[in-house]
Amino acid sequence: MFELDYKNRGPIYEQVCDKIKELIAMGELKTGEQLPAVRGLAKEIGINHNTIQKAFGILEREGVIYTVIGKGSFVSEHSANAKIFKENALSEIKQTIEKNIIYKVTHDDIIKLSNSIFNKGVCEND
């Protein structure tokens, strides 16, 4: 399903949350689709089932997935997910920009940065 990156980041359960969200955002997990079993997934990626449990619990509280007792966990309505995801994304970007205004980051810097990220030619010269 996915692999963990042990070098970089924070808690494993957070990484699991992020990966699941990515899979949903990319359409590889669709509305209503059943997620892999907690213990099965744990075995597959080589971590303890409690860690997966924690990740799924967070995703459930966030409304990204829902659980049917005794049956399994399922992906919530995709349009709702897409909305939550995008809102969180924009909010995170906003915070990051605002936090850095003090270091002389300008509107123009952001435009240029965004242009370079999204490969927009700046008319002729770039």
Partner DNA sequence: GTGGTCTAGACCACA
Q: What residues line the site for a second copy (CB under 8 A)?
A: 6-8, 10-12, 21-22, 25-26, 61, 66, 68-71, 74, 76, 82, 85-86, 88-90, 92-94, 96-98, 100-107, 109-111, 113-115, 117-118, 120
Q: Candidates 35, 59, 64, 75: give the one binding DNA (CB under 7 A).
A: 35
Q: CB-wise, 40 or 98, nearer to a second copy?
A: 98
Q: CB-wise, 39 or 99, nearer to a second copy?
A: 99
Q: Which does 72 bind (CB under 5 to 8 A by kind): a second copy, DNA, none?
A: DNA
* Binding residues for DNA restricted to 52-81, rule: CB under 7 A: 53-54, 56-57, 60, 67-73
Q: Which does 122 bind (CB under 5 to 8 A by kind): a second copy, DNA, none?
A: none
User: Which residue from 96, 95, 71, 75 is spatially nearest to 84, judged by alpha carbons?
Assistant: 75
Q: What are phi and psi of 34, to 5 degrees?
A: -80, 135
**46 is written with which tokens?**
């080589």
Binding stretches for DNA (CB under 7 A): 10-14, 35-40, 47-51, 53-54, 56-57, 60, 67-73
